[in-house]
Chains A and B, each alone.
Chain A
């Protein structure tokens, strides 16, 4: 994606000038900054990238960017992004969405996009709840979370998005934390540069609806697993680390792991299926003519 012939755009050029409608102090502002910095650093031009989202606070993000954007339907960012990638493999596509959008209504599409190893970067702004609709539990909420529709507390364990991504065939799986701008920029940048399906889970708490579990709550527990010696090319290790992603919910002394969990470069990407026939693409008129020739009643 990085091409030094292309001039580097200043970070501000990636902002659309629309005032974000996020709450003041929302952790998503940090994600927006990290993303625009990553775009700038990689010399991506705003008119040469498409950012696709679903519905939710997180999914408003493309509206604040000056890139091409598709603000689609709840849960449907991924199939739209897959179509965009297959139609124009030379245009990078980033999906910015939330935990509910990607892993509740959208979980089916996530599984298949990852399985196909479409060259996409999927960034989950994970606040572990539904904020736009004013505080319901999401698939990544801690067990016992009291949302408006689960007033007695959820009776299920959180969906482990990191584990799911690895098992579904994603070839880059990273996790980062909205309280660490440099870390976010690094992990998101790695995801953007990865050729294949890259999933980045961003733990980005919601100060409006879950103030108890805010940035200061998580920060002391955050541990980068690669800094601790994790080998991201080792799948067994990756899954073992992934299993611990929400261990801290039950035992607050357990760390909250971030970093690159899994990286499998060099796998074929789904866009490669698009290659023209061995002899090169034939003209539509020729193909039509020979097809109609075969439909001759005398054959």
Chain B
């Protein structure tokens, strides 16, 4: 363990200024607020356990390898078998503006899956459905009525193809993949190796019969379906790109930030963060611990952090509930720690695999008593890498718990992105009081500027202290005298003074060509995955002539009041879009600013689509009148 001599406060990364801040100084004519790139979206769906995700993932990877920018958004039920699963694959010549939007092509492998999406089909959409399903009673009438309303329908012999090769319908997903590849005119070489890799060992029969079903499906499509390739070209091969999944980006960000201790308890949908970081820490000599429960996990992370290493845990809503008492301890004893909450639909067990953004209140305020903590949430997969680094930096600088909010859909979104650059990072080091430091009275809790309060660490520092959860004075002695207690409470909260000013890069502005003093039709704020999705809705509205001011805070708590007040000056009608029932961020904004935002929510377990957000924002504008 290397003690670090402090040479100044660790700098928070400031080199990632949001692009829109530069753009707002250029006047652009209304209506040309950025060309919106074309996107092709295919949604494949069927019974969970049938390999829907495998087919969707391979299609996504093949498109990415072909040179498209691509994203994959999946949804599965909580069981191992049964229920409906779906995968939405999006291809675009430019970085994906939103991973969640209406599909053009629907590939349905089961009746239940078809029924779930039937009402979403629109004129001009293309439905590909297994012949077997089309034969079910009642289906004929359904399909005829869809065809009459302008939906192109192709009944495809997926089951027949699959049966031909394995003697059972087990490879229908691969047949569907083949049909998709034929329809989209994506080269088979992009698929073959990926199919082999995903379906098992090279000499396995599962991979070979899957491959055969794929080839047969593709051949059938080439012969029987008109081609329907993406209406844009893939970019020429470019370097510096990667594919990452939401949870993966968080795990890699933590490693890059210097995290060397990870403790967790398995919970959907956070477990894979531990799978990934555990493997990596075993290579770098760090520690990954599976604890007996979430309380044990956070407890271990705090013991590790006290002992001098950067530590983290990841969980979901139920785990966050269990951790509340220890979050309070970390706040009182001022121990740096990062807690990732991959939110899922609640309350209680809820819907463990489904998207929701309903833990914000628990993250910001959960735990008895009052104490400062920081809550952040990424708005893109690439952003999740860098924001996790920010979370560790903030924890070190402010010596408090930092909670990173992700969610069940974001966790498994895969997307092509600019390869993260660890070399560009500024890491706030763990400030350890060195062995040679003067052994004067050590006042661990004496107020100081962020990053200027070194920690004494066992076995290294010449001075000691006791990290107690009891109210205490600077040298950690317990106190219960009112004047001292009041001072200590103010001092703890004062630690976060100026946080908003120092973390400007954590708030993304999207003003189009609005300038200070302009009036917008609407002001919009959103966070987490919803922010990523609403961006496209905002761009579409701008292309139709509406002036929208948008704010996407990655710093959620403490509330960035200055930014929100600035947002409300563009339009006093402020909509906050978030995937919860009660408008949690909207409530926090009401608590800490003069804004009276309106809540725009979803809480069915699936994310917003950009499409739906566009309609609802338009409705909100409509009730004000267009100027």
Contact = CB atoms under 8 A, between A and B. Distances in A.
Nearest to B296: A79
Contact of A81 (B244, B284, B303): B303
B467 interface: yes
A27 interface: no
CB-based closest 4 A-B pairs: A83-B303, A83-B300, A281-B285, A79-B299
Contacts of B260: 87
B284 A287 contact: yes
Nearest to B280: A287
Given A80-B299, A87-B309, A296 B241 contact: yes
A54 to B, nearest CB: 10
Interface in A61-93: 62-63, 65-73, 76, 78-88, 90-91
A73 B467 CA distance: 11
13 contacts: A16-B466, A47-B461, A50-B306, A69-B467, A69-B468, A72-B467, A83-B304, A83-B311, A86-B261, A86-B289, A277-B283, A281-B284, A284-B255
A297 interface: yes
Contacts of A298: 65, 237
Interface stretch (B46-54, B128-136, B416-424, B527-535): B416-424
B463 A80 contact: no
A88 B292 CA distance: 20
B458 A83 contact: no
Interface string B335-349: 000000000000000
Nearest to A276: B285
B302 A83 contact: yes
B428 to A, nearest CB: 16
B176 interface: no
B508 interface: no
Interface in B425-482: 456, 458-459, 461-470, 477-478
A279 to B, nearest CB: 9
A282 interface: yes
B252 A288 contact: yes
B458 A49 contact: yes
A250 B248 CA distance: 59
B466 A62 contact: yes
Interface in B298-350: 298-309, 311, 325-326, 329, 333
B581 to A, nearest CB: 32
Interface string A73-115: 1001011111111111011000000000000000011011000
Nearest to A275: B285
Given A47-B461, A52-B303, 18 more contacts: A16-B466, A48-B459, A63-B478, A68-B456, A69-B467, A69-B468, A71-B468, A72-B469, A79-B291, A80-B299, A80-B303, A83-B263, A86-B300, A109-B299, A111-B292, A276-B284, A284-B284, A297-B416
Contacts of A292: 242, 252, 419-420
A91 B284 contact: no
Contacts of B515: none
Contacts of B419: 292, 295
B292 A109 contact: yes
Contact of A68 (B255, B263, B291, B465): B465
Query: Which of the listed residues A81, A83, A84 has the most CB atoms from chain B within 10 Å of its own CB?
Result: A83
A70 B252 contact: no
B582 interface: no
A40 B42 CA distance: 71
Interface in A245-297: 274, 276-277, 281-285, 287-289, 291-292, 295-297
A92 to B, nearest CB: 9
Contacts of A296: 241-243
Contact of A112 (B237, B252, B292, B467): B292
A46 interface: yes
A46 B464 CA distance: 8
Interface of B: 1, 61, 64-65, 237, 241-244, 248, 252, 255-256, 258, 260-261, 263, 280, 282-285, 287, 289, 291-293, 295-309, 311, 325-326, 329, 333, 416, 419-420, 422-423, 456, 458-459, 461-470, 477-478
Contact of B304 (A63, A86, A287, A289): A86
A69 B465 contact: yes
B459 A91 contact: yes
A71 B303 CA distance: 11
Interface in A158-186: none
A81 B302 CA distance: 9
Q: Identify whether the interface residues of B are mostly helix, strand, loop, or mixed.
A: mixed
Nearest to B239: A296
A153 B95 CA distance: 70
A70 B306 contact: yes
A86 B309 CA distance: 11
Contacts of A112: 291-292, 296
Contacts of A291: 252, 280
B484 to A, nearest CB: 15
A18 interface: yes
B253 to A, nearest CB: 10
A70 B307 CA distance: 10
Nearest to A282: B283
A73 B329 CA distance: 7
B304 A84 contact: yes
A288 B255 contact: yes
Contacts of B282: 277
Contacts of B461: 47
Contacts of B252: 288, 291-292
Nearest to A297: B64
Contact of A47 (B65, B304, B333, B464): B464
B467 A88 contact: no
Contacts of B65: 297-298
B307 A71 contact: no
A73 to B, nearest CB: 5
Nearest to B478: A63
A287 to B, nearest CB: 5
A193 to B, nearest CB: 18
Nearest to A47: B464
A70 B466 contact: yes
A65 B476 CA distance: 12
Contacts of A287: 255, 280, 283-284
A66 B477 CA distance: 12
Contacts of A67: 464
B420 to A, nearest CB: 7
Contacts of B464: 46-47, 66-69
A277 B284 CA distance: 8
Contacts of A91: 307, 458-459
Nearest to A294: B242
B469 A73 contact: yes
Nearest to B423: A285
B309 A71 contact: no
B529 to A, nearest CB: 20
Given A47-B458, A83-B289, A71 B469 contact: yes
